[in-house]
Structure 1
């Protein structure tokens, strides 16, 4: 009886919403410090040897970290196919820019060390910087646009229609609130990258990372607070009207949605979710304090808590919405009406129960093997493989 309740259609939809959130948070926690290190590279490393030290802190792990991005995209595709279809179609150029940056990064890692020419290496260093800042900014902008609502509507046969041209859709994403979310995202990952560099490097590189990470933490605190205030007084939220069939067929047009509703009503209806923004603020403040006070492991640990809290606060505020529509609110996608079938969600869950623990164990083993600081002697030793 308990197992039957657990694998009900309603519970499977909720479980996959939680798993999707955890996969995206996992991506931010792991690949996020890779992006932060790329953004910090031109500022914390002044010589070629220092740049090689910085690059080699993430060189052995960045490929494994991107697994979480692939898992998150796969979960969207398989668990919530309407979300995948609508979002990837509407955000096509933005997604292309993100993927281009993520493709440039491995090329930069592999080709930078092929020649000792300073001009050659400086170009690849700029590529690494771009491959960090572009995804961080655009992911934040995307989150801001989801909170604002996206200009699409569904036809009776569930075909998604977006307003405007392709370029118009791209530049239309750059709304003030969305840009603020993008800035918070960039600063958050810079703080996270600084925590990683403090843990993995020493000397001047680590000290510069402390200074820049502390400044980024202050930007995160101010930007996150401003975004919350803006969300409370300047952004209309969404709410489902009437009874919703949590175990009914997936048909977004079957629900009635109200678009004159504060997103922060979620905290009145479910006060316990306030723990998420508290973790965001508290983790960021403690990361700033740890960076100021010379902590080694603690800045990275506190920044992980901050990222977990901030991303969770977005998901919990939006719940049960996945992608609201600001041109036709009744076309908005929720976890109750945009999921795959009961059988698909169950089969996927069984596969996840088997393989996700294996990924976690392997990832933990890799970080255990690679534990320790990267030094200048490591990257200049001809017998030591380095980027």
Structure 2
């Protein structure tokens, strides 16, 4: 098991030699310190998954669909969250119990399959990171009036600083948790100020005025597609919080990560719904920014800048960390891995600065690639749960969870098929 960028935490990796029986038992202070460190790691992994999902595309997507569907969008959010929970429960449990990353599991299932998955994740993550860096520039522009390219470069340096740190793992866990909490707090404020019709939203959650399945599948792909599916679970593995004894922590963190994402989406939905219900027409290039400004004036616009910047910079961090984890081995030293992660950020930033605008065609292509990653990666996870009990240390996988995962996997096939169609149209 590879050392995480931070100090090893949790249990010993699989295959490690047992400690000598002569070793002194851990003191209460040491045990408390380990428990606290493990808690921080799980919180960091949870927020890494959640904040990776909450990027510039997430904000744009939620804003546009709210304007299009109104209160009926609440039902789409509910269904997407339930599907997301089913996926993450399986992904986190299999990866957490096995102590192996998704690409390593893929190679155990079929030699070379893990590297195919790694290529998809790496390419999609790199292209999406260009958009994420662009989002940080737009965020600082709305917040401080900075030129977007200058803002993007400064934000990239902030992300790089995390991986330059000698305790990169601890810095990573803390920064994503703090920025995630900040986003939720600001969104809550704007949601309250906009005074959304809560009764109408609640009614549509269970009895929608109309249903759009394309919107639902788009939400699912945007929340657990591509590298996002594995961001938190890979962080957990790199921090050595793995094994059967940690199943309860693994399950709790996986569900809480989706719930954090859900809270953010619901608050953004309510904030914009309140503006729309108030009679404001939103049809500009930046619906979310217009909605924030309509709800809370100039301070609302500044808050939007903070939210967009935080969402974008955490997505830069999550995409870079997770993409590099797919193309490095667990035996790779933290220094080499952090160096590759920094290079990943530098390349994405350089492309963003050279181009006059965010490459929309590339982002569409990356979105289509992400649609292929989910069914392939999730298949590996379910196959290990069903047929490779040896990789789970003999753990008897819950049948209900496996059946639930298989049902959701069929939906990911549909998503993947749409992605293939999207690629075909792109190159036509």
TM superposition score normalised by structure 1: 0.29
Return the structure number with greater relative CO, CA threshold 8 A, min gap 6.
2
Structure (1/2) with the larger strand percentage:
1
Structure (1/2) with the larger helix percentage:
2
